[in-house]
Structure 1
């Protein structure tokens, strides 16, 4: 890979960088915790120096984080990290705290109690509706009293089948306040997908809506909720949230009745490693992994991520388009930890028009807006002009995750939104409920690159034989523990599945499953999943590079490339394309695709065949799947290659099965 600088797109104003929370933290850590002084260094050298200290002196760094953000330990820690083993690291072993207390503490201040904690927008009523900090505390207090009255105790599981609405935030915080363990699925998940998740953890309470609105339509989910009730014998109580206005089913409790009382929340003081919530892997093969995170790990890591790497704080407004079935919903709630107002949106990302998310950002005065790479690219193809058509004067940063953002996506943002915008491309995962690499408010943004590894995260790029490589594509590894790594997987005796997921390739080192280039300039490029690597003529290639070239063409809506080893030792690499309306895959278009790949990438990137398909299969959180399609093309039956309940469009797989048979 070339070490030349890609084009510079943005440089932070020096005064703005100097007043960022990261700069203030750097001075605090230098004064009180032995971090190196960086006066006189370039911004890149200063951050690299701070990052090196943060991973070499983990205990000093994380103690500094807890002091800087005033983490409320009811039993103060004497030890930060009792073991650096992975898995098995134990953080702040003597300490006690509660995540919900930190999320709600900004409502204690009379100066902020009546300012918005949550600003909600949905398709039917686009006018934003605010929930103040004091009202949020009251509702959480009322609901937590009722949960305790229902017999919910620390360690019990509470599940939710809810969209991204304020009630979901209240339910999570009340669950955390009593020390129970939260988990959620979005209501567009079918019954089987939800049961594959919830049955693993046996919840005692189920919060459920009667339906949801999406794309201008109402979707009744009462039949699904009934099936959940019937198939979850552990559930002792269902709480009904009437999004569509229907009456509660027999035996269910009404949401309004449980949140009507005036009560201050009481926060159970819990060990640092007490379970907070369970998130799930996509579950494309087998049951989804039930990933358990801790009260303390999420609290301190999310404070760092949104406070330092997004530069969020009191008075800011934070909007990330997400659903309750994606870890970014949990990440959105991190805005509350630093006193920011969070924006919740329930609806389609592109309804009534492609610029819908930008309109939400404009209407709510959002300062930091997060979305997916796919949405940015769709906006580019749709020809929308948010920077011209909308008032985005309050917007200072745009976050991107979900998949690598192609260079054209970077260009579109700076051309169509603003030349003075901080583009925060991040990469991480559900596994840690956050990012490994992402934004740094003091550093410039270069075309196609993520700014840097996050503080406290020892990210490296490794070759197959376990050697660190720079300016070369390698496996993304993390060589030292972080607090938000999973405690364990639910129902995983002896951590067998946990170890196999992250530590089988390099024992004692977290291997995440992404291809990464860590440049000698400190920046990062993510190339896609390493478990779906293309390997042609002994050269490994990332699929995202091919998607970036092909999907730039107006005739192509989406694509999927697969590399398949043949029994005779050969290698077959087909490219499947979804065509734009009115487009035909003729010889001219095939030639244009091949020429673009050959000239922009290399001859190795040219596929053996180009095949039109009606749709590309996606997970429930919108990610295209490659490995299950590869298995289907290799002869594995569909029901063995992938769990259909994990997909938003399982019917898309049939084309690949039919193609393999043909």
Structure 2
């Protein structure tokens, strides 16, 4: 325990925990069922032992429906896989109706760009625009179950399209415009959309990007895969509409909207709880991505649970999640509308014109809940920026950090940098469930480096390789979920037998969901620490540890070191695995023998001699996904001898080429850039 939680320090304690929404739910359940649940942990125990919890949650969240759930029919065996049940059979609801419950002049969306242009959309206007879009979609033949794909930035048009599709019962799927043509086609050829909506011209990092050639190629390929209409959105720079010559299937947004009945009211099709809503995608860094189908009811309840109970969000809040439309956090963010909150939609780079401008924007907008990544916070720290010298952040109540490992040193820096009153939440879940497994809780204290608790309704356990629960032994193991919950994916698109779905999640431990994360639980605080991906666990000489432990130590070197990548290498000729640490230096700093020795000494002191990498190499670039996550597994496979063809999910695919030479380790360890 000393090794893993030696840096755990109490950072924050709630002032009035009893006022948190999750505590109100706990007291409500006590009154309703005559229980005596004393705290969050008692509530969690109830939530994973009695399926009635999901009905309690339905009622507390105020889910709008035309046919209510029955107390004796909360779930039934699933048709595709026994591990994935059919929830709330017989109920009827609509996801979009639940998000568009507010219809007044209050601000629903604040759309902002890196160039400083800001526009606001009221709830009244949002409802009207969704109705107009839905009317056009209906006029052009969209039916329940049809797929609608989008290649769009994070803006109002994206929200309108997604909600209009959901109101009819279509299935929405989106990617960001910066994804390559191959990456887009790898996704959309599989799901065969009837409609594609696409941005035509965008601005990123101060540069104009003409998307028409890419969109033309995508439309041409999808035309033989069921595509009927390609709707071109106006330029994000000028607002002018653009066209693709000699492309009969394409038309501008204004032309498309004119095809709808202008007086047709917005209607919400009443559909089963398990009606497909979104198709999200696995990372696909080394092959075609899996098309993960999520249900309307499952996404609605679990994301609203996270936002209402985890973020404590109400109609008084302003929620800013920096994301692209290609990340599951975009769909998660949309559910903030169901609470009546104001959403900030930011289109552009946070580094343009500079970080200070971006941070000032957050303060000036009165953001109350800001969601970001560890990588972004590390960059702010590395550049020596003091946020409170830029703005007062007087409205900011919570900072939500996800997407990668959030190390104890970064916890402490962030708490100091933004103020001791801030509730700093770290969460971990995934695209696979469009939700979280381990989350922040507003009524519990925060300890550095720890995720506060297991999410309600998620029976998270820690398994060893034999399937034994080792949580009580204070040992790291596989994060598993041993009981079904409402936002399990209902299918992989095209996997009619369910076999691929079963192999992906339920094959390691039969009948038990394996998430693929390496995790450990603090028996004192009950907090959790993600140590890395379990398929990327480092295992030199039989000693298992996660890359996150190395990254925690590397925070000490954030001044000269821009980023690092720690992986294991085991080639066919190797008797054992060795640990390799790759580091990318900041501009103006040099990788020296002294720095390499300091890094090794710091790792040895903080962890142990067995954690020290066999070699440390300097590299000019580190591969990331388009969502900003470091790509460890692909690099591990490359240096161990595999040949990979990176998909469009890799933001900088050329960087992978840098690592092939390390297969021939013996020929380069004499280089001055290799420190033994």
Q: TM-score range by the shorter chain?
A: over 0.9
Whole-angstrom CA distance in 2 between matches of 1:257 and 1:114: 28
Contact kept, 8 Å, 2:26 with 2:40, in 1: the verdict is no
Distance 1:585 1:358 in 2: 31
Structure 2 CA distance, aligned partners of 1:179 and 1:132?
Answer: 24
Does residue 136 (structure 1) correspond to residue 141 (structure 2)? The answer is: no
CA distance in 1, matches of 2:470, 2:619: 38
Partner of 1:619: 625
Who is 2:199 aligned against?
209
Q: Does the Cα contact within 8 Å between 1:86 and 1:510 map onto a contact in 2? A: no
From 177, 186, 196, the equivalent of 2:176 is 186
Q: CA deviation at 1:4?
A: 7.0
Alignment check: 8 A CA contact 1:549 1:596 kept: yes
Q: Which residue of 1 aligns with 2:556?
A: 552
- 8 Å Cα contact 1:142-1:258 kept in structure 2: no
- The secondary structure found in structure 1 opposite 2:648 is helix
Q: Relative to structure 2, which stretch is displaced further, 351-360 or 233-242?
A: 351-360
Asked if the contact 1:400/1:425 (under 8 Å) is kept, the reply is yes
Is 1:54 aligned with 2:31? no
Q: Residues 427-462 of structure 1, C-alpha deviation per residue, up to 9 Å, x if partnerless? A: 000001111111111101011111101111111111
**How many Å apart are 1:258 and its aligned residue?**
4.6
**Match for residue 510 of structure 1?**
513
1:482 aligns with one of 479, 482, 485: 485
Alpha-carbon shift at residue 196 of structure 1 (Å): 0.3
2:244 is aligned with 1:249: yes
Question: Alignment partner of 2:292: what SS?
Answer: strand
- 1:20-419 aligned within 5 A: 20-38=20-38, 46-58=39-51, 60-78=52-70, 79-83=73-77, 87-107=83-103, 113-126=104-117, 128-233=118-223, 234-242=226-234, 243-244=236-237, 245-250=240-245, 251=248, 252-258=250-256, 261=262, 263-419=264-420
Tell me by how many angstroms 1:37 deviates.
Answer: 3.9
| Mean Cα deviation higher: 189-198 or 575-584 | 575-584
What CA deviation, in whole Å up to 9, does each residue of 1:98-129 have, x standing for no partner? Answer: 1000000111xxxxx00011111111234x32
Distance 2:227 2:357 in 1: 37
Using the TM superposition, give the Cα deviation of residue 257 of structure 1 relative to its aligned residue in structure 2, in angstroms: 4.8
Distance in 1 between residues matched to 2:44 and 2:662, nearest whole Å: 49
Distance change >3 Å, CA 568–CA 388, structure 1 → 2: closer
Q: For 1:496, which of 495, 499, 507 is the aligned residue? A: 499
Confirm or deny that 1:461 pairs with 2:467: no
Q: Does 1:585 align with 2:584?
A: no
In 2, Cα distance between equivalents of 1:372 and 1:151: 40
CA–CA distance in structure 1, aligned partners of residues 313 and 358 of structure 2: 20
Residues 606 and 37 of structure 1: CA distance in aligned 2, closer, same or farther (over 3 Å) = closer
C-alpha distance in 2 between matches for 1:173 and 1:491: 24
TM-score, scaled relative to structure 2: 0.92
Matched, 1:575 2:576: no
Cα deviations by residue, 1:111-166 (Å, 9 ceiling, x for unpaired): xx00011111111234x321000000000001101000000100000000001011
The alpha-carbon deviation at position 34 of structure 1 amounts to: 4.9
In 2, distance between residues paired with 1:377 and 1:86?
43
Structure 1 unaligned segments of length 5 or more: list them: 39-45, 108-112
Q: What are structure 2's unaligned runs of at least 5 residues?
A: 668-676
When structure 1 is superposed on structure 2, of 582-591 and 159-168 the one drifting more is: 582-591
Report which stretch shifted further, 531-540 or 23-32.
23-32
Task: Determine the C-alpha separation between the residues in 2 that align with 1:422 and 1:551.
Answer: 21
Please identify, of 163-172 and 455-464, the stretch whose mean Cα deviation from structure 2 is larger: 455-464
Question: Do the aligned partners of 2:182 and 2:647 also contact (CA within 8 Å) in 1?
Answer: no
Native 8 Å contact 1:206 1:235 kept in 2: yes
Cα offset, 1:272, TM superposition? 0.7
What secondary structure sits across from 2:355 in the alignment? Answer: coil
**Most deviating of 167-176 and 205-214:** 205-214
CA distance in 2, matches of 1:514, 1:253: 45
Mapped to 2, the partners of 1:36 and 1:137 lie a distance apart of 42
Q: Is residue 567 of structure 2 the alignment partner of residue 562 of structure 1? A: yes
Q: Shift of the alpha carbon at 1:364? A: 1.8
Question: What is the distance in 2 between the residues matched to 1:33 and 1:369?
Answer: 36
**Displacement, 1:419?**
0.8
Tell me the secondary structure at the aligned position of residue 351 of structure 1. Answer: coil
**1:650 Cα deviation after fit:** 0.8
> What is the distance in 2 between the residues matched to 1:575 and 1:5?
22
Judged with a 3 Å threshold, the aligned counterparts in structure 2 of structure 1 residues 257 and 363 are, in CA distance, closer, same or farther, namely: farther
Q: Is the 8 A contact 1:117 1:136 kept in 2?
A: yes
Q: Which residue of 2 aligns with 1:43?
A: none
Secondary structure at the residue paired with 2:301?
Answer: helix
Structure 2 CA distance, aligned partners of 1:235 and 1:77? 37
**Worse-matched range after superposition: 27-36 or 550-559:** 27-36
User: Is 1:533 aligned to residue 544 of structure 2?
Assistant: no
Work out the CA distance in 2 between the residues paired with 1:228 and 1:623.
26
What SS class does the counterpart of residue 329 from structure 1 fall into?
helix
Task: Encode CA deviations 1:349-375: one digit per residue, 9 max, x unaligned.
Answer: 222112444333222211100000100
Separation in 2 of the partners of 1:473 and 1:512? 14
SS at match of 2:449: coil
- What TM-score comes out, normalization by structure 1 length? 0.94
C-alpha deviations, 1:189-220, integer Å up to 9, x for none? 01100000011000011100112111111111
CA displacement, residues 532-589 of structure 1 (integer Å, 9 cap, x when unaligned): 1100221101001112212430221111122122424133222111112222222211
Contact 1:239 1:253 in 2 (8 A): yes
What is the aligned residue count? 643
Specify the alignment match of 1:42 in structure 2: none
Report the CA distance between 1:479 and its aligned residue. Answer: 0.7
**Partner of residue 654 from structure 1, selected from 654, 657, 673:** 657
Does the CA-based 8 Å contact 2:8-2:408 persist in structure 1? no
> Could you say if the C-alpha distance between residues 253 and 36 of structure 1 is closer, same or farther in structure 2, counting changes exceeding 3 Å?
farther
**How far is the alpha carbon of 1:248 from its aligned partner?**
2.6
Following the alignment from structure 2 to structure 1, what is the Cα–Cα distance between the partners of residues 567 and 60?
Answer: 47
Output the aligned Cα RMSD: 1.7
